[in-house]
Amino acid sequence: MAIHNADVAALFDEIADLLEIEGANPFRIRAYRNASRTLQGLGVDISAMVSNKEDLTQLPGIGKDLAAKIVEIVETGHSIALDKLRKASPPGLTELLKIQGLGPKRVSALYHELDIHTPEQLYRAAKDKRIRTLPGFGEKTETRLLDAIESHVQRDQRLKLATAAQYAEPLVAYLRKIEGVNKVVIAGSYRRCKETVGDIDILVSAKSSPPVMAEFVVYDEVQQVISKGQTRATVILSNKLQVDLRVVTQQSFGAALHYFTGSKAHNIAIRRRGQQRGLKINEYGVFKGITRIAGETEVSVYQAVDLPYIEPELRENRGEIETASQGLLPQLIELKDLKGDLHAHTRATDGRHNLEEMALAAQKSGLKYIAITEHSKHLTVAHGLDQRALLKQMEEIDRLNSQLQGITLLKGIEVDILEDGQLDLTDEVLGKLDLVIGAVHSKFHLSRQKQTQRILRAMDHPHFTILAHPSGRLLQQREPYDVDMPRIIRHARQRGCFLEVNAHPERLDLLDTYCQMAKTEEVLVSINSDAHSILDFDNLRYGIGQARRGWLEKNDVLNTRPLKSLRKLLKQTM
C-alpha cells in the first residue's frame, strides 16, 4: 500500500500531540510539527524520494532522526516511536485534539482531572456541567465545547481539498494506464474546488467497462469493496475516503460529467430549464422524446438548454444560470494570470528558507515578484521581527534585488492587528515598506462589534495595504471569528485597500461568497500563498480555485498586474 505525504504528516502530528500531552520537551514537539508541515506542503511524493534513496535531510526541518522515521513509516506503514506513545496513552485521546477549543494542555487537564479521553466522554461531562469546575475552563468554554463536539462529528467525515488530492490524483493516474481507457475525470465537489471533500466521484470513458472495474477494486490502497457492478463500483480507501467510480460510453460522457459534478441545486435548475423546452436531461444524455440530442460533451448539454458552458466552480445555483442566459458569465481567473505573490515568509521568522531561495522558487513557479512579509514582534511564537530586525532585512532585500534577474522582492510585513486596532510597528518603519499586510493573530473571541471595530481601525491606518486571511479560520480546526464582513469589504473600498485570498490549504480565506461580494464592491483581492517554504508556491492553485468559486476574473485580482502597475496601486493605499 502506498504511503502519501499526508499519511506521514498525520503520524508526526499524532506523535507531537501525545508528547505535548505528556509534557515532553517543547523543542522535540516543535521538530515533529515542523516536519509535518514540511511534508504537507511538499510538492513531491515522499515515498518516491525514499524509493530513490534521496537524502531526506535536505528537506527543511528534517534531521537524521526524523529522516529515519520517515523511511520507517514509508517502508512499514507505522512508527515504533508512535506505537510506544500510544501504549502509554488511552486509545482515542488524540481525537480530543481535533475538537475546536482543545489544545494539548486542556486535553491533559481533562484526562488527568476527569478521566476524559474520548469525544463521547467529553460530551457527557459537558452536559453534566462538570467541565466548568476545572481551572481555566468555565461555563462559556463548556458551552463552546458542546457546540464544537457537534460540529466535529459532522466535519470529521470530510477531507480538506489538498489532502483529498494526495489520494485522488494518484488513483486517476493509475486508472489512465488501463488499456482501453479514454478519459478519467474527478467530478463532484472536488471538481468544483470546494474547500472540503466528503468523497470522490471518478468518471471514466472506456471501450469496455469490465477491465476498468477489475483493476479499480484491486488498487493497492483499496481497503474495502462496498459494491462492484458492470459500470459502477464503490470502495473505501485505507484512509477511510470513499471513492465512487462510473464507467460510461463516450456519447454519454459529457452528460454524466455534468450530472456527477453537481451541485445538486445547479443540476435541478438545469433539468427544469430542459423540461421547459420539452427535454429530458439525465446522466445518459439530453433527450427529445427517445432521441438523444446531446450529451457527448458538457458544452452540448448547456447548448441544448440555450446556455453557454458554465465552469464547474460556478455551479452552485447562486445566479450563474441567469447570468449565463444573459451572456454575462465572468471569464474566470487562471493560475497563469498571477504575476506575483504578496505574502511570503523566510527563516528570519517562522519560514524555512532564506530570501534568495524563496525568490528563486517563486521565479521557478512562473512569478515575476514576491513580497517578503515576515511576522511582526507581537507574534512571539513565530519569532516576529522588531523594528531593527525589519530594517536590516530591508537592506538585505535591496542587496539581493541588485543581483537577481527576472524576479523582484518587495519589502513588506505581516503586522499584527492589536486588540485596540493599532498596528504592531511604528509609522516610521511601516512607511518605508512597499506594502503592509495586517493580520489578526490573537483575541479571536471578541464580540462581533469589537472585532469589526478592531479591524476597521487597523484598515484606517495610513500604511495599511492588505487584510490577511480576513476571517481567521483554519479549516476543521478553528471557526471564523465573528466579524461583519460585508462592512469590512465596503470599508476596504472606501479606504482603497485590499483583501487577501489566502491559498494555504488550511485557510482558503476569503470565503467564496465574500470574494463575490468584494467583486461587486470593486475591491481588489490578492491571491497569496502565505509561503513558509520553497514548496508552498504550489498552493496558489487552491487560492485560484477559491477565487473562481467567488466569480473572480483576472482584473479583480491585485497580483495579476505587472510590477509597475502594482507599485502604483500599492502607493495609493499608503
pLDDT tens for 67-113 read 999 999 999 888 999 888 888 877 667 778 778 778 788 888 888 78
Helices (H), 208-295: 209-217, 253-261, 264-275
3 state SS of 377: coil
Q: How far apart are CA 124 and CA 394, in angstroms?
A: 54
Cell matching residue 13: 502530528
Q: How far apart are CA 510 and CA 537, in angstroms?
A: 18
C-beta of residue 254 within 8 angstroms of C-beta of residue 237: no
Question: How many helices and strands in the chain, by DSSP H and E?
Answer: 23, 17
Q: How far apart are CA 396 and CA 355, in angstroms?
A: 8
C-beta of residue 322 within 8 angstroms of C-beta of residue 310: no
Q: How far apart are CA 472 and CA 462, in angstroms?
A: 23
Write down all domains in the chain, each with its CATH number in brackets. Answer: 5-155 (1.10.150.110), 160-325 (3.30.460.10), 335-573 (3.20.20.140)
Q: What is the 3-state secondary structure (H, E, C) of 78-123?
A: CCHHHHHHHHCCCCCHHHHHHCCCCCHHHHHHHHHHHCCCCHHHHH
Q: Is the pTM of this model over 0.85?
A: no
How would you class 283 by CB atoms within 10 Å of its CB: exposed for 0-12, middle for 13-18, buried for 19 or more?
A: middle
Phi, psi of 504 (to 5 degrees): -60, 130
Cell matching residue 468: 490577511
Q: How far apart are CA 188 and CA 264, in angstroms?
A: 10
CA 113 to chain centre: 36
CA 324 to chain centre: 28
What residues pair up with 183 in beta bridges, in sequence order?
Answer: 205
Of 288, 292, 291, 280, which is closest to residue 253 (Cα–Cα)? 292
- Rg of the chain over Cα atoms, rounded to whole angstroms, equals 25
26-40 and 5-21 helices, crossing angle to 10°: 160
Of 244, 167, 171, which is closest to residue 203 (Cα–Cα)? 244
Q: What is the 3-state secondary structure (H, E, C) of 389-404?
A: HHHHHHHHHHHHHCCC
Sign of the CA dihedral with 454 first, then 456, 460, and 464 last = positive
3 state SS of 340: strand
Other beta carbons less than 10 A from residue 401's beta carbon: 16
DSSP 8-state secondary structure symbol assigned to residue 498: E
Per-residue pLDDT tens digits of the chain, which is 574 residues long: 678 888 898 899 889 988 888 888 888 998 998 899 888 877 788 988 998 999 998 888 899 999 999 999 999 888 999 888 888 877 667 778 778 778 788 888 888 788 787 777 888 888 888 888 888 888 888 888 888 877 766 555 689 999 999 999 999 999 999 999 999 999 999 999 999 999 999 999 999 999 999 999 999 999 999 999 999 999 999 888 999 999 999 999 999 999 999 999 999 999 999 999 999 999 999 999 999 999 999 999 999 999 999 999 999 999 999 999 999 999 999 999 999 999 999 999 989 899 999 999 999 999 999 999 999 999 888 889 999 999 999 999 999 999 999 999 999 999 999 999 999 999 999 999 999 999 999 999 899 999 999 999 999 999 999 999 999 998 877 888 889 999 999 999 999 999 999 999 999 999 999 999 999 999 999 999 999 999 899 999 999 999 999 999 999 999 999 999 999 999 887 6
The per-residue DSSP string of 119-162 comes to HHHHHHHHHTT-GGGSTT-HHHHHHHHHHHHHHHHHHTT-EEHH
Q: How far apart are CA 328 and CA 528, in angstroms?
A: 27
Q: How far apart are CA 468 and CA 462, in angstroms?
A: 17
CA angle 257–506–379, rounded 5-degree value? 160
- In residues, how long is the chain? 574
C-beta of residue 473 within 8 angstroms of C-beta of residue 509: yes
